[in-house]
Structure 1
Amino acid sequence: MRRHVVAAAAASLLLAGCGGAADTQQPAGSQQPAAKEKVTLEWWHILTSDPGKGIYAKWAKDFEAAHPNVTVKITVLENESFKSKMATQTASGKAPSVFTTWGGGVLRQQAEAGLVKDLTADAAPILPTFSTAAMAAYQIDGKAYAIPTDIGMVGFWYNKKLFAKAGVSEPPATWSAYLDAVKKLKAAGVTPIALAGKEKWPGHYYWAYLAMRVAGLDALKQAAETKDFTGPDFVAAGTHLKALADLQPFQTGFQNASYSTPSGQAAAVSNGKAAMELMGQWAPDVQKSSGKGLGEDLGFFPFPAVEGGKGAITDAFGGGQGFAVGADAPAEAVEFLKFISDPARHREAITNAFALPVIKGTEDAVTNPALKLVVENLTGASGFQLYLDQAYPPAVGQEVNDSVAQLIVGGKTPEEVVKSITETAKSE
């Protein structure tokens, strides 16, 4: 059952001409400036590695320097830990002052429960600076409930040397060619794919993309509305994924592997122990922080087309990250969003390769060759689908992750996967 709460009282009044709390009244004729009310902003984000983690910490210090009455308390959490802690936090009827969001169904539920602030008026000066695509996931019924900090797409990041060793001369453009490449890699003694099976969300990328390629974007949208994923095309998506899993393409122990740890998915690719991973635009940064890094040997290609499918290879799957503001956060929380949305700071994020352009006019800051490929694919995208575990209500998204994880290890059939997702959707 969704938990609805009453929106918190209005935030502190702004100082005349600036963004702090209201002045304390001074005696007549006093020349001493009024002390501003002390404010603590709780900032929760998921950038667990440098350079992003360090740059965010620097931005917080810079904001504190410009706003002496404000203390920014940062909580950094890994993806799944963040989701779990946010669920506990919001169940209590509260949200952090500023927190990571992927938009979609989760943000909608938070908005409907009165947990997040409508930024349409308060952030009006900066909203037009963001691209339409970047803002899409954070707008609900014409109102803005978050601002974007990153956008991108999921695709295959691969080791060019290992592909060459296996005789794979070019990135596969079709699913059958992809399966052939996996077989060639195995025959050459190379682990084809690294997967963080423990965390589940990386595995759902495969089923989601296959559903897009086989059924098409319109079918996914219709299924979300009708709450019925039992159609033959969705079963076929699972069948294709089972065919991949049957080749045993993943690293040994993948079921217990995390994503960003020294022995996890990103490190396996970064250290040359696996040929590729299906991951978002942040992959190069995480690979570097968790392993040796591939440098110029790192390549990128979009998820292949499925022969006979209704979806196009130019349809992209992914999203980005943004920040929402808790409903009872002080006014300084919105000022903080404006501060970190300055184009110069966004360029700093882009040039340090932990964000892709969401602010108009910053596209030229992308210099990394691999990330330029992501930008090119996004620019030419014929359609876009937000991550399913964010596009759908939380329970449905979790069921997608759980059921696909079971499919990959042989615990569920393709038919059982779509049945479980449908039953969960209808119970919402």
Structure 2
Amino acid sequence: MGDPALSRRGFLAASAAAGLGMTALSGCGGDSDGGSSGTTTVEWWNISTTQPTKDVWAALAKKFEAQNPKVKIKIVQLENDAYKSKMTALIASGKLPDIFHTWGGGVLRQQVDAGLVEDLTDRTKEWSEGLLPVAKEPYLIDDQVYGIPFDIGMVGFWYNKALFKKAGIDTPPTTWSGFLDAVRALKAKNITPIALAGKEAWTGMYYWAYLAMRTAGAEAVQKAADDKDFTAPEFVQAGRLLKELVDLQPFQKGFLGAAYSTPSGQAAAVGNGKAAMELMGQWAPVVQADAGKGLGDDLGFFPFPEVEGGKGAITEVFGGGGGHALRRGAPQAAVDFLKFFASETTDRELVKKTGVLPVVPAAEDALTDVNLKAVQTQLKASTGFQLYLDQAYAPALGQEVNESVAALIAGSKSPEQISESITKVAKEEQ
């Protein structure tokens, strides 16, 4: 589903992105078409570039236009990293699209603090209060609503049951030592244990983030950002545990140059049965099927294992979802579209056709996929929740987490060095 795949992270410098970003600005601002019809054009930027989501969303826009003849929805769909690059340039320009994708957290706060995002508290109160509370959380800033969710979920391991069986692994591991044993068992059968998109730094960040949560606890991960200090022993240990995995050489050949959602990338490697696992969000099955063949009944899901002796629990989850925010001063038609997109009817269609988890409680019975039900069960039983670090933290800090962890995976930084690098950037943001 696009970061969904969301192929998710990694900001490029604003200067490098400026030339790209400005080319897509026409139509921003809910402008009239200048004719006698008085049509309002609403520009909608999203990252749903993979099927079936791309076509489903386009059809929903057409449906909204049919219900609102005086409104035209102009869709701009960008792959995750390209989207982030262009948004960086637009933030610098002070002009955002009418409707734009957001993961919430520190990135959204920066946009809000810059005065670029519409406060939706009063304009959506009538209907947004009925949405799933955990889904709304990333978009609440100082108790005000700045985004409306369309998805919620968590990151976990998606695995090939047939390959696990071939390697003699009867049940998914629940501890880190058991996970490493599973990696060794898969390698012993000449099976690539894990697919990783090393070209996209956010995919490796998931491992370090989860290991930090398991060693230090979910609350400590956010507290470290607040205190601007990631040098505690637990964070260094998280790096050491990740290095222990990397030293087993568990990833596919050429992983450092692999993207996430391309035909030769991470999702395809799992979807085509070339690798046994990937650590990814709730959108993984859709992207696996789009980039590769998909595993059908052979696909399973299990939560990130606990670390023996760690302060975190296996019930503390890491993830997030997708939402939409509006530029400040967006037309009423943009608010109307968010209401349409967050309706029970639309949510049911999204759940059935695109594999998202419902954000409207009444649409929950539309969820039939066994693996997505497993994700939902984990979410409901969670005892702690941490938003993606490159979204929860301020942009520069989130980028440093991604890049430092990528460097550790590539072998150019030690566990101690990544804790020091992340802390240095955190302190610079004071």
How far apart, CA to CA, are the structure 2 residues paired with 1:133 and 1:328? Answer: 27
Deviations 1:89-127 (A, max 9, x none): 111001111011000000111111111100001111211
CA contact (8 A) 1:103 1:390 kept: yes
**1:420 is the counterpart of 2:414:** no
Structure with the larger helix share? 2
How far apart, CA to CA, are the structure 2 residues paired with 1:109 and 1:36? Answer: 37
Please tell me the residue identity of whatever aligns with 2:127. I
Q: How does 1:201-240 map to 2 (within 5 A)?
A: 201-240=202-241
CA contact (8 A) 1:260 1:286 kept: yes
Q: Which TM-score applies when normalising by structure 2? A: 0.91
**Displacement of 1:354 after TM fit?**
3.0
How far apart, CA to CA, are the structure 2 residues paired with 1:346 and 1:361? Answer: 9
**Displacement of 1:342 after TM fit?**
1.3
Query: Which stretches in structure 1 are left out of the alignment for 5+ residues?
Result: 3-10, 13-19, 22-33
CA contact (8 A) 1:172 1:178 kept: yes
How far apart, CA to CA, are the structure 2 residues paired with 1:357 and 1:298? Answer: 21
The residue aligned with 1:372 is: 373
Q: How does 1:179-194 map to 2 (within 5 A)?
A: 179-194=180-195
Partner SS for 1:384: strand
**1:288 is the counterpart of 2:289:** yes
How far apart, CA to CA, are the structure 2 residues paired with 1:151 and 1:173? Answer: 23
Please tell me the residue identity of whatever aligns with 1:137. P
**1:244 is the counterpart of 2:245:** yes
Q: How does 1:3-402 map to 2 (within 5 A)?
A: 37-402=38-403
Partner SS for 1:129: coil
Deviations 1:288-338 (A, max 9, x none): 111111000000000000000000001010000000001132221111111
Q: Which TM-score applies when normalising by structure 1? A: 0.91
Q: Report the more deviating stretch, 143-152 or 41-50.
A: 41-50
How far apart, CA to CA, are the structure 1 residues paired with 2:132 and 2:150? Answer: 11
How far apart, CA to CA, are the structure 1 residues paired with 2:92 and 2:43? Answer: 17
CA contact (8 A) 1:353 1:368 kept: no
**Displacement of 1:357 after TM fit?**
1.3
CA contact (8 A) 1:267 1:290 kept: yes
Deviations 1:124-164 (A, max 9, x none): 12111111111110000010000000000000000000000
Partner SS for 2:129: helix
CA contact (8 A) 2:56 2:354 kept: no
CA contact (8 A) 1:186 1:249 kept: yes
How far apart, CA to CA, are the structure 1 residues paired with 2:281 and 2:158? Answer: 9
CA contact (8 A) 2:56 2:353 kept: no
**Displacement of 1:220 after TM fit?**
1.0
How far apart, CA to CA, are the structure 2 residues paired with 1:168 and 1:45? Answer: 39
How far apart, CA to CA, are the structure 1 residues paired with 2:187 and 2:47? Answer: 34
Aligned residues: 401
CA contact (8 A) 1:104 1:138 kept: yes
Partner SS for 1:278: strand
CA contact (8 A) 2:272 2:294 kept: yes
Please tell me the residue identity of whatever aligns with 1:101. T
Please tell me the residue identity of whatever aligns with 1:348. E
Q: Report the more deviating stretch, 346-355 or 181-190.
A: 346-355
Runs of 4+ in 1 over 6 A off after TM superposition: none
Larger radius of gyration: 1
Deviations 1:159-196 (A, max 9, x none): 00000001111100000000000000001000000001
**Displacement of 1:36 after TM fit?**
5.6
Partner SS for 1:288: helix
Partner SS for 1:352: helix
Please tell me the residue identity of whatever aligns with 1:289. D
Partner SS for 1:317: strand
**Displacement of 1:341 after TM fit?**
1.2
Deviations 1:338-380 (A, max 9, x none): 1111111101111124310111222111100111100110011
The residue aligned with 1:405 is: 406
Partner SS for 1:241: helix
Deviations 1:388-412 (A, max 9, x none): 0000000000000000000001110
Please tell me the residue identity of whatever aligns with 2:305. P
Please tell me the residue identity of whatever aligns with 1:212. M
How far apart, CA to CA, are the structure 1 residues paired with 2:106 and 2:141? Answer: 10
CA contact (8 A) 2:43 2:75 kept: yes
Please tell me the residue identity of whatever aligns with 2:251. F
Please tell me the residue identity of whatever aligns with 1:107. L
Query: Which stretches in structure 2 are left out of the alignment for 5+ residues?
Result: 1-13, 15-28
Please tell me the residue identity of whatever aligns with 2:135. A
CA contact (8 A) 1:155 1:300 kept: yes
Partner SS for 2:168: coil
Shift in alpha-carbon separation, 1:99–1:354, aligned structure 2, 3 A: farther
Please tell me the residue identity of whatever aligns with 2:338. L
How far apart, CA to CA, are the structure 1 residues paired with 2:192 and 2:120? Answer: 47
Partner SS for 2:117: coil
Partner SS for 1:73: strand
CA contact (8 A) 2:175 2:305 kept: yes
How far apart, CA to CA, are the structure 2 residues paired with 1:64 and 1:348? Answer: 17
Partner SS for 1:250: coil
